[in-house]
Amino acid sequence: MQNAERPDSAEAIISSKANIGLSAAASPLRDEQATCAICEAKADGCCDPLPGEFGLQLRKHQVRFTPVHHMVRPRRNIYVAGEPSDSAYVICSGWACRMMRLPEGRRQILSFLLPGDLFSATAPFQQSLDFHVEAITKVRYAAIDSEKIRAMVAREPLVLEAFVNSCIAESKDANQKLADLGQRSADEKIALLILQLMERLDQRRLVQDQSFDFPLRQQHIADAVGLTPVHVSRVMGIFRKAGLIDIQQERLKVLDLAELRRIGSTR
C-alpha cells in the first residue's frame, strides 16, 4: 500500500485502536473540532456526520459521538474487504465507491458514497465488511467507535429503529440494483444512474440549476452498470448530442430532465 497523504493543515496522529480497519492510504487528522466545522454533511448528521434519522434521534437525546477523521487521496483504498474494524465510517467530503473485486481483477461497483453516507449501516454490528471502499476523489471521512453506537442502540429504541430502517433501505437498494443490472437496457441504466446521483446530491443541497459535480470516469460508470467503457462512451455521446446532458470540467448539467426521466423510467 502506498504512503498516506499528510495534509499540511493537520498532523497525522492516531492510536493503534482507532486505526483498526483502515487502509494504509488513510491519514488521520488532528484538529477534529475544526474539521467538523467545515463538514459538508454537518447539517445532516449527529457526530455530526451520521445522516437522516440517526442525526434527528441523537440530537433529540443530546448524544454526540467524537469521530476520528481521515484523509485519502483519489484512487486509493479506504477499506479492504475482510479487514477487522471496530468503527463505523461516514463520508464527510468527496466521493467514494463500495465495490467487490473478482479474482482476475475485474470489479463491480455496488454503490457510490457521497457526503453523509455510512459505508454500511451494518458496520457497527460486524467485525469486518465483505466489500472494498475506494476513494474516487480526495475523501475525508470519519470513524466512529462501534461500541459507542451499539451502546446507544441498546439504550434508545428509536435509534435502533433508525438503524434497522437503514439496513432495510440498503437491502431494497441492493434488490433494485440487481433488477436494474439484469433487465434494463444500456441507456436506461445510465440515465437512471445520473438521475439517482442527482437526487441524492440535491438532498444534500449540492445541486444548482440542475448542475452538480460529476467526477466519475467512464470506467466507474461501466463498473457500476455492467457495461464496457466503450458502450458507456457511446451512450453518453448520444445523450450529449440529443441535448439531454452536458459535462464540462467534471460537472454534469441536466438539460432535459423530463426526457432523461422518461428514458430512466423514474416518473
pLDDT at 37: 55
Domains of the chain: 27-174 (2.60.120.10), 184-264 (1.10.10.10)
pLDDT at 8: 33
CA separation for the pair 207, 186 (Å, rounded): 25
pTM of the predicted protein model: 0.80
Strand locations in the chain (E):
27-28, 68-72, 77-79, 87-93, 96-101, 107-113, 132-135, 139-145, 211-213, 245-248, 251-254
pLDDT at 26: 61
Sign of the torsion formed by the C-alpha atoms of 215, 217, 218 and 221: negative
- pLDDT averaged per 10 residues in sequence order, the chain, 267 residues: 36 34 56 53 50 54 70 94 91 94 90 91 91 96 89 83 85 90 93 95 92 96 96 97 96 96 81
Which residue in this structure is represented by grid cell 437522516? 52
pLDDT at 74: 95
Q: Would you say 22 and 89 are in contact if contact means Cβ atoms under 8 Å apart?
A: no
pLDDT at 148: 86
